[in-house]
Amino acid sequence: MTAADVLLGRALVEEATKKSGLIWVRGTGPARALWHVWHEAAAVLVGDGPGEQPLPEGLVDGGAAEVTVRSKDKGGRLVAWTAAVAVLEPHSEEWEAAVAELKGKRLNAPDAEQMTDRWARECRVVRLTPGASRTEVPDGSLAAAPLPTGATTRRPAPAALPRLLLKRRRKN
């Protein structure tokens, strides 16, 4: 691999990760889709606290993670990269800068005023710094069964729903 290939790989990782709303992160367990922000040449995540996204197993300080970035327009796999994991210490200078970026992107926070204090007490802020990247197409499907979560509910469809849907079609 030439120096130009390395620079192009870094540029692709940065641009794709900046533009993607979700990245797939795998530590030692299954991969999870996570929202993030791109800050100072790394993806920054917040999670593992009440009301926040669950982070994958194995995201420990000094560890490694596999990050897969999807294409924003087609949704397919665009690039994968290996990340060095750093858990930021609450209220450190690096943590404050990362949290300022995360706070602006956090949607529907129930406690927007006290959110950063809650993150410092109950959550982890993780920085994923890119290492090697790969853009090759994988040899098979990377599809996996969805991870169990308490966020989904299954309720029967309302009895009137089929009539309502058919009624709309007839009018058009």
Ordered mean pLDDT values, 10 residues apiece, the chain (172 residues):
83 90 91 94 93 91 92 82 95 95 86 89 95 71 75 72 71 54
- Show me where the domains of the chain are located: 3-140
Q: Decide if domain 3-140 falls under CATH 2.30.110.10.
A: yes
C-alpha dist (Å) from residue 23 to 150, 155, 160: 21, 29, 38
Contact 32, 54 (CB under 8 A): yes
Give the per-residue pLDDT at 12.
87
Give the per-residue pLDDT at 155.
74
Spatial distance between the Cα atoms of 99 and 105, rounded to a whole number of angstroms: 10
Burial class (CB in 10 A: 0-12, 13-18, 19+), 106: middle
Give the per-residue pLDDT at 153.
63
Entry pTM = 0.80
